[in-house]
Amino acid sequence: MENFKIDVDADGIALVTFDVPGQSMNTLTNGVMAELPTLVERLKTDDAIKGAVITSGKASGFCAGADLGDISGGMLAGGGGLQGAYDAGWRFNGALRALETCGKPVAAAINGLALGGGLELALACHYRVVGDSPKIQLGLPEIKVGLFPGGGGTQRLPRLIGVQAALMAMTAGSSWRPNDAKGAGVVHEVVAPGTEVEAAKAWLKAGGKGVQPWDTKEFKIPGGGPYHPAGMQNFLVGNAMIRKQSYGNFPAAINLMKAVYEGLQVPMDAALRIETRYFIKTLMTPQAQAMIRSLFLSKQELDKGAVRPAGIPKSDPKKVTVIGAGMMGAGIAYVQALAGIETILIDRDQDAADKGKAHVADLLKKRLSKGAIDQAKYDALLGSVTATTDYDLIKGSDLVIEAVFENREIKADVTKRAEAQLAPGAIFGSNTSTLPITGLAEASVRPEDFIGIHFFSPVDKMMLVEIILGEKTGQAAIAKSLDYILKIKKTPIVVNDSRGFYTSRCFSTFLMEGMAMLEEGYAPALIDNIGRMTGMPRGPLEMHDDVALDLSYKIAKQTALDLGDKFVPAEGADIVAKMVEGGRFGRKNGMGFYDYASKPKTIWPGLAELAPTTKGIDGPEEPTAFAQIDELKTRLLYRQAVEVARCWEEGVIDDPREADLGAILGWGFAPWTGGPITLIDQTGLSTFVETCDRLTATYGDRFKVPQLLRDMAAKGETFYGNFEGAQKAAA
Ligand code: NAD
């Protein structure tokens, strides 16, 4: 075997070391899946082996789960139709079942993170020992890429920890730290790091049994199964909760529920076959295919620097200055400190700079209290941030990022003062959210080193960073910014300059379509509910409140000034203006479309005067109501997708992976679609164009598709088809 090494000791204990060659982390590749049955057969039939301990040979972890590239392509592409797909899906599941019924005790010595199929492998062992390290996580995160556990997880976890806890963990894709995993009953023992194998062997020597609880006669599902009065409740409540969270957009969540419900009513062998059927059924859905591609494969590629210009030596930023220690600047300082970058945090006065550093300290304290870092690490990380007003300290920085007020003059002044301290080769990034980079670069004496580095709020949580190229930005500046973003472990996309760049520009159309509906007389609560039904994280009015109405108002004023005659006021601009003039700025001052003083928030009654409600949905049973809901959902999603297509035609963005992932991570575009470009591709270009033509005729030019889409539709093309074709041609 290539991936498993077996050493049998004098006591007859086989130490199985899982170590996939050529990878820094173990994953369940096609090769591993193919070897598992061989491994199990050896453990079962070799008389010299009395029991086994499975551990990992990698310092980085036990196993990160399935190789989704292999799975999504492999299982469905192997030929043999449905039966072939089922057989491919059963391979891993069947091997794990053979492992737990091999007749000999097997323990997992989990010496690093165990996620997805990695944890499922451990769950198929009879005993689990895990190292006590803050770096270790155990969990089944498959739902996040449109799948659910297909290696027995949906059957073993509820039998181990009860239906409610298992469903909650699997529908959220959440993970446990070692001690929490022990508390939940997922593992048996937490031991000092480095002693996992020893502890696992000790269990074997003490007479550990090679039988799973669910294979014994007396087994009962903890808390009760589907036909138990208490157990039944989990399914009633669980179904409602899944519906509330996902609005039926994720087949994976529904199929997961079915697999657990049906599987728990039969013995394990049949239960696992049920799981595999639902797993393959889920894998075949367009949603799973879309999510795997965008949220896993594309993300991996972008996180490895797929869009970095070739031929420029890799850089490693060690010292970075952040100017402006406000909400964004302090957040940036925090993520830099975590990545081991020495940070100079500058503000107008020492108090403001100190306040920024105090925010870094608050965020670090949270990690400290969770046990993710210890006191020494906390001190070192906080010590790597210097709060100051002194521009001299910039000297030696590889990069300066400004996050001062959104004001051209202030930004120009800061640019000049910072550049005076910067060595050749160092770059200057602006975190502006709205001001075109080419214009800001006019203040720079070296515009080739000037670039937009747009973070999202809150910086510590949001994974995306949008890099914006000014007209004169050079290739080296792009490469260095990407090296920096990869170092702070964010996902980068690179876009060309445009008003609102890529993300803010397209996201704003979601808010505007919500405003259009409000103007048309739809009830505000209806608009937001339908917004959530599309799969967006919140409705357009709620999100408008979050962004801040006064910001919307200010941007509209600035855009009117910049565009002159060409300016077209956005939908509902009058309503927003009246609200802002009346002191309603959104969530930040507790007053927007909603009143936030009460919990839960309630619609502001005054809105009824500014936008009287004249339209509703006729009632849930009315066929017209469903059609109306669909129409509103389509408007909210297609409006954004049309703007994305316009960005594409204008050259703001040219890589479907960046367009899709940027949309999902940047502004929460419905993840089940795989992103707006995938939505267009999967809908089919002709159908998408046809629908948009109808929407244009009914609602106006905001749905007018760019010529590019018509041309592509005429030629039967797709975005990903063209992109993959171009990649192949280049290779
Ligand atoms: P903020 O008001 O919280 O912080 C701005 C900081 O800059 C303040 O601490 C202020 O004292 C400091 N400052 C102002 N003039 C300065 C000067 N001449 N020299 C040094 N420091 C100075 O604002 P914020 O929300 O952190 O936004 C900062 C920038 O980031 C803006 O350009 C904004 O558009 C952009 N941005 C904001 C968000 C967001 O969601 N808040 C998201 C992306 C980008």
pLDDT at 44 over 70: yes
Tell me the best of 360, 404, 433, 465 to mutate to test the pocket of ligand 1, counting ligand atoms within 8 Å of each CB and taking the most: 404
The predicted structure's pLDDT at residue 70: 77
Verify whether ligand 1 is closer than 6 Å to residue 457 (CB atom): yes
The DSSP result for 526-543, as a single string, is HHHHHHHHTT-SS-HHHH
Cα–Cα distance between 81 and 308 in angstroms, integer? 39
* pLDDT per position as a tens digit, 114-167: 999 999 999 999 999 999 998 899 999 999 999 999 999 999 999 999 999 999
CA of 282 to the centre of ligand 1 (A): 45
Reported residue count of the chain is 731
Please determine, for residue 500, whether its predicted confidence score (pLDDT) is greater than 90.
no
CA 583 from centre of chain? 35
The model's pLDDT over 435-456, given as tens digits with 9 standing for 90+, comes to: 999 999 999 999 999 999 999 9
Mean pLDDT over the full length of the chain: 95
Residue 215 confidence (pLDDT):
97
431 CB near ligand 1 (under 6 Å) = yes
- Ligand 1 contact via 406 beta carbon (within 6 Å): yes
Helix H or strand E encompassing 253: helix 251-263
pLDDT of residue 615: 84
Q: Which atom, in ligand 1's list, is nearest to the CA of 325?
A: 9
> For residue 80, what pLDDT is reported?
76
High-pLDDT (> 70) share of the chain, % = 99
pLDDT recorded at residue 498: 85
Q: Which two tokens stand for residue 193?
A: 């790091």
* pLDDT tens digits along 203-220: 999 999 999 999 999 999
Q: Which of 351, 433, 552, when mutated, tests ligand 1's pocket best, judged by the most ligand atoms within 8 Å of its CB?
A: 433
Q: How confident is the model at residue 19 (pLDDT cuts 50, 70, 90)?
A: very high
Nearest-angstrom CA–CA distance, 694 and 703: 9
pLDDT in tens, 162-196: 999 999 999 999 999 999 999 999 999 999 999 99
Q: Is pLDDT above 80 for 535?
A: yes
Answer whether residue 77 shows pLDDT above 80.
Answer: no
What separation in Å is there between the alpha carbon of 330 and the centre of ligand 1? 10
Judged against a pLDDT cut of 80, whether residue 624 lies above it is answered with: no
**Of 157, 248, 113, 287, which is closest to residue 534 (Cα–Cα)?**
248
Please tell me what DSSP assigns to residue 422.
P
pTM to 2 decimal places? 0.93
Q: Counting atoms of ligand 1 from 1, which one is nearest the CA of 407?
A: 32
Confidence (pLDDT) at 478: 98
Per-residue pLDDT band at 621 (split at 50, 70, 90): low
Identify the pLDDT of residue 356: 98
Q: Name which residue leads in pLDDT, 618 or 223.
A: 223
Task: Using CA atoms of 629, 635, 638, 644 in order, give the dihedral in degrees to the nearest 10.
Answer: -140
Q: What is the pLDDT of residue 622?
A: 67
Under the banding of pLDDT at 50, 70 and 90, the label for residue 365 is very high
The catalytic residue positions are: 454
